[in-house]
């Protein structure tokens, strides 16, 4: 949307709801609330922010939110995905993880995704979208902001929604500690005119300094998200080539090299913040303003859409907070544990990684369970714990077999030491947002 255009609808100084942030989650929140008859003021703080490396994947639960908002026709040109294919570092056959029940997700280039949702919000009769409006302060239920002409405004709303991302103004005025922890750096590279190795599936490729998530965002267009763990964050294209050249599929190597030679790399920081705080009555947080994880499982947009839908449907802030707290623990645990299992190189984590692959290859039910946990369909933390115990049991069986071999006792001891850290984490109080073992 052109940042210089005027708001389509004159806005009231006393809307029912004021939403800070017109990114994907802010637009969905505005649409969900407007659908229920609320008069919504939607502030688009930075029109250029959509042109960045950010979420492009929506799991089935997020797709269902868009469909309930009547957006099916608007998103029908987005790319349909059926799940993920994981490529182990040893070059063995990929492991396909498919959404259960024939469900599908959607992907789209971030800018196009945001543009579509902003136009949908601007077209709604109950939403006044104010372009280039920067929120500056919150005082009770009064929201202060500046518009593109530098004029200062104040509105009073019974509900203010902070959909303003990781550096949230709403969090600041709630007095919440930032609590963000840097995990890694991410290099984003768009490959043109390439085919997916497993058509219709996002691809996780292991074997580099960190995993690669390959996300299809259109016909013969694939976005590579290259993860660089702490200590390996050289923003140098030659480094990226040498680090990941052998990991990317051979048919992608020439487009990969071409993109690097042309310096077509976008960088972003991956951060972790537990989803512990949802705001207060009258000032609710949604999306990354609540918390965020490593993007390996691509769950961020979906959680934000579900936040927005739940907020609109809840009869009180307490109900909203209770429901989202109950629903978000499992996706966090799965995102954290898979990232650590895929990146840590200590013997215990390598054994856990091998056991995860074995469970997925040998038991289709485990594949389905993983996708239900990942996509938010399964929210029972006990199911996650039992699934992880099964993985650790498989890893322990392999360790006992190693123990029978001569001169393997030192390796077995190191591996067992790694197991104890994983077991300690599994038994910890997950509600406090504890990260998995480093």
- Summary count for the chain: helices (H), strands (E): 12, 19
Q: Could you write out the DSSP letters of every residue in 215-267?
A: EEEETTEEEEEEEE-TT-----HHHHHHHHTTTS-GGGHHHHHHHHHTT--EE
366-425 pLDDT tens trace: 898 889 888 878 777 777 878 877 887 787 776 666 555 555 555 556 666 666 777 676
**pLDDT at res. 405:** 53
The CATH number for 181-272, chosen from 3.40.190.10, 3.40.50.720, 3.30.9.30, 3.40.50.300, is: 3.30.9.30
263-299 pLDDT tens trace: 889 999 899 899 999 999 999 999 999 999 888 899 9
Domain ranges across the chain = 17-56+109-179+273-326, 181-272, 344-432
27-56 pLDDT tens trace: 999 999 999 999 999 999 887 776 788 899
What is the CATH topology of the domain spanning 17-56+109-179+273-326?
A: FAD/NAD(P)-binding domain (3.50.50)
- Phi first, then psi, for residue 323 (nearest 5°) are -70, -45
What 3-state DSSP class applies to 394?
helix
- Phi first, then psi, for residue 201 (nearest 5°) are -130, 140
CA distances for 363 relative to 84, 251, 353, 390, angstroms: 16, 30, 15, 11
Which 8-state DSSP code applies to residue 48?
G
**pLDDT at res. 430:** 47
Band of pLDDT at residue 234, cut at 50, 70 and 90: low
What is the pTM assigned to this prediction?
Answer: 0.91
Residue 365 burial by CB count (10 A; 0-12/13-18/19+): exposed, middle or buried?
exposed
Give the DSSP H/E element, type plus range, for residue 284.
Answer: strand 283-285
**Beta carbons of 85 and 95 less than 8 angstroms apart:** yes
CA diameter of the chain: 79
- Alpha-helical (H) ranges within 281-363 are 300-313, 317-343, 347-362
335-374 pLDDT tens trace: 888 888 898 888 778 888 998 999 999 989 889 888 988 8
**pLDDT at res. 77:** 85
**pLDDT at res. 53:** 83
Q: How far, in Å, CA of 276 to CA of 79, rounded?
A: 33
């Amino acid at each position: 949307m052109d940042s210089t255009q005027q708001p389509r609808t004159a806005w009231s100084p006393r809307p029912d709801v004021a939403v800070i942030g017109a990114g994907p989650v802010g637009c969905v929140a505005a649409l969900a609330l407007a659908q229920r008859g609320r008069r919504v003021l939607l502030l688009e703080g930075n029109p250029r922010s959509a042109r960045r490396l950010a979420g492009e994947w929506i799991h089935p639960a997020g797709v269902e939110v868009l469909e309930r908002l009547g957006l099916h026709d608007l998103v029908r040109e987005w790319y349909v995905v059926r799940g993920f294919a994981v490529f182990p570092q040893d070059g063995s056959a990929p492991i396909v993880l498919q959404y259960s029940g024939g469900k599908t997700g959607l992907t789209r280039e971030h800018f196009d995704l945001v543009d579509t949702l902003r136009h949908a919000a601007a077209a709604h009769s109950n939403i006044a979208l104010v372009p280039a409006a920067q929120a500056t302060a919150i005082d009770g239920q009064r929201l202060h902001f500046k518009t593109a002409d530098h004029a200062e405004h104040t509105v009073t709303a019974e509900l203010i929604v902070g959909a303003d991302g990781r550096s949230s103004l709403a969090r600041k005025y709630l007095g919440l500690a930032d609590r963000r922890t840097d995990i890694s750096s991410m290099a984003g590279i768009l490959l043109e005119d390439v085919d997916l190795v497993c058509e219709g599936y996002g691809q996780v490729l292991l074997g580099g300094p960190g995993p690669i998530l390959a996300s299809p965002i259109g016909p013969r267009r694939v976005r590579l998200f290259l993860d660089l763990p702490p200590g390996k964050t050289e923003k140098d294209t030659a480094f990226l080539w040498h680090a990941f050249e052998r990991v990317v599929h051979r048919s992608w190597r020439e487009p990969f090299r071409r993109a690097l030679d042309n310096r077509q790399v976008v960088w972003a920081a991956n951060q972790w913040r537990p989803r512990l705080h949802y705001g207060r009555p009258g000032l609710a947080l949604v999306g990354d303003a609540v918390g965020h994880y490593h993007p390996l499982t691509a769950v961020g947009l979906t959680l934000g859409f579900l936040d927005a839908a739940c907020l609109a449907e809840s009869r009180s802030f307490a109900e909203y907070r209770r429901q989202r707290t109950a629903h978000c623990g499992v996706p966090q645990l799965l995102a954290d544990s898979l990232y650590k299992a895929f990146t840590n190189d200590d013997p215990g984590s390598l054994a856990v990684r091998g056991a995860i692959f074995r469970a997925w290859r040998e038991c289709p039910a485990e594949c389905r369970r993983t996708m239900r946990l990942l996509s938010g369909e399964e929210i029972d933390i006990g199911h996650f714990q039992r699934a992880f115990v099964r993985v650790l049991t498989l890893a322990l069986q392999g360790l006992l077999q190693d123990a029978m071999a001569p001169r393997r006792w030192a390796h077995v001891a190191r591996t067992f030491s790694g197991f104890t850290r994983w077991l300690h984490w599994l038994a910890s109080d997950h509600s406090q947002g504890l990260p998995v073992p480093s």
